[in-house]
């Protein structure tokens, strides 16, 4: 394996910036950008349509990406539906399931809005909320207690984008199966950081970004859609690529996954994502996991050691994301000062998860999040900046 300091050179932006916002979107390594450029320079063409050679090549590349993604999560290629992000994948499920009046869906109190609003938006379907404990995780038994005969689905994020806590999705999956309830996992913050095996975890749906932990380009994501359940899902977005025949006003749908993918794909993005998975596989997910855990622990300890700084999250269960506040200062001002004085890119606000912050009685935080291209010097830089700023309060 290449050393992480070598890997860092594949991300030219790091020469100028200390990037600590990977939970929003990660940086993209040079080989991924080059794979996308290669498509545009050399075989730019639509997929699944033309029979000229470059169109056959781009189609093959797209299907190769699907195969690679499936292998990466131990699924089958026809269970992978390309989307533009995690949010679109979750919405496909929320709007595709055949709910009956009075059904309910269970989520946790620390979901990202993308795994909350699509459920809240359903007519005649109640959203039940499992509260988190002091350790920022949901107790699977609390999820169990919320299940009743009208529960259709449990939808839980694997890792919190605010507190970095990992949920016991294995146990929640078992509970869902034992009670004949569908199970959706929002993997926005876990894929690319921790191994994912859908055969073992056994979700019915799993929503993924390409642009976060996987180091793929923005505009990419995918839905894992278990084969046995796929035909039960209504398709809300139809058009080119989704039908095999039309007679009069009758049309025949394509097989899975194509019937879920209407119109032209983000072809260069998907080709980039495919390269990103090669990139991750070369480093090995286990190495990324270990290295990021070390960095995260150091990040937590360092921030925690600064007087006047309050850190949220549990050191025993924290993954690549640390939220905190400097007492007496507005988080927005802190991130702005870090940017303008030290070129540190860090997010502040409610992180598209107002309920997460409400669950601990605050309304915004500063959030540092890392990936394998960060190093201990980046953490030192943040520490130095924060120490200075904390003297302002």
Ligand X SMILES: Cc1ncc(COP(=O)(O)O)c(C=O)c1O
As measured in angstroms, the least distance from the Cβ of 108 to ligand X is: 11
- Cα separation, 198 vs 223, in Å, equals 12
Closer CB to ligand X, 7 or 93, in the complex: 93
Active site residue 292: no
For ligand X, give the closer residue by CB, 22 or 274: 22
Nearer to ligand X (CB atom), residue 161 or residue 274: 161
Closer residue to ligand X (CB): 220 or 325: 220
Question: At closest approach, how far in Å is the CB of 188 from ligand X?
Answer: 3
Query: Interface residues with ligand X (CB under 6 A)?
Result: 85-87, 112, 114-115, 157, 161, 186, 188-189, 209, 221
Across the strands, what pairs with 151? 104
Please state the closest distance from residue 219 (CB atom) to ligand X, in A. 10
Nearer to ligand X, 188 or 345 (CB): 188
CB closer to ligand X, 130 vs 188: 188
The least CB distance from residue 189 to ligand X, in Å, is 5
CB 83 → ligand X: shortest distance, Å?
9
Q: Please, what is the minimum distance in Å from the beta carbon of residue 93 to ligand X?
A: 13
Q: Among the options 292, 345, 352, 372, which is catalytic?
A: 352
Catalytic residues: 352
């Amino acid at each position: 394996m290449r050393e992480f300091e070598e890997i860092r050179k594949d991300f030219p932006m790091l020469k100028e910036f200390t990037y600590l916002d990977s939970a929003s979107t990660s940086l993209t390594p040079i080989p991924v950008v080059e794979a996308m450029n290669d498509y545009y320079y050399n075989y730019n063409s639509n997929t699944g349509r033309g029979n000229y050679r470059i169109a056959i090549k781009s189609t093959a590349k797209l299907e190769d990406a699907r195969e690679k993604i499936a292998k990466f999560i131990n699924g089958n290629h026809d269970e992978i539906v390309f989307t533009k992000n995690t949010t679109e994948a979750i919405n496909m499920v929320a709007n595709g399931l055949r709910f009956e009046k009075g059904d309910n869906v269970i989520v946790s109190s620390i979901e990202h809005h993308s795994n909350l609003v699509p459920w809240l938006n359903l007519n005649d379907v109640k959203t039940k909320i499992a509260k988190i404990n002091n350790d920022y995780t949901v107790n699977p038994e609390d999820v169990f207690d919320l299940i009743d005969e009208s529960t259709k689905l449990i939808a839980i994020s694997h890792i919190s984008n605010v507190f970095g806590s990992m949920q016991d999705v294995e146990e929640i999956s078992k509970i869902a199966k034992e009670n004949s309830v569908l199970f959706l996992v929002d993997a926005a913050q876990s894929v690319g950081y921790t191994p994912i095996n859908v055969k073992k975890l056994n979700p019915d749906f799993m929503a993924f970004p390409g642009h976060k932990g996987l180091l793929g380009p923005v505009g990419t994501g995918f839905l894992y859609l278990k084969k046995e359940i796929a035909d039960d899902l209504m398709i809300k977005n139809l058009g080119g690529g989704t039908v095999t025949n039309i007679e009069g006003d009758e049309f025949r749908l394509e097989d899975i996954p194509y019937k879920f993918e209407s119109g032209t794909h983000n072809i260069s993005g998907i080709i980039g994502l495919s390269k990103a998975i090669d990139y991750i596989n070369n480093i090995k997910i286990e190495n990324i996991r270990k290295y990021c855990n070390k960095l995260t622990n150091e990040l937590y300890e360092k921030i925690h050691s600064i007087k006047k700084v309050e850190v949220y999250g549990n050191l025993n269960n924290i993954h690549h994301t640390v939220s905190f506040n400097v007492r007496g200062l507005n988080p927005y001002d802190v991130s702005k000062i870090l940017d303008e004085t030290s070129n540190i890119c860090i997010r502040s606000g409610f992180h598209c998860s107002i309920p997460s912050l409400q669950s601990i009685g605050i309304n915004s935080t500063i959030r540092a999040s890392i990936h394998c291209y960060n190093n201990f010097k980046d953490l030192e830089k943040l520490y130095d900046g924060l120490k200075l700023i904390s003297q302002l309060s």
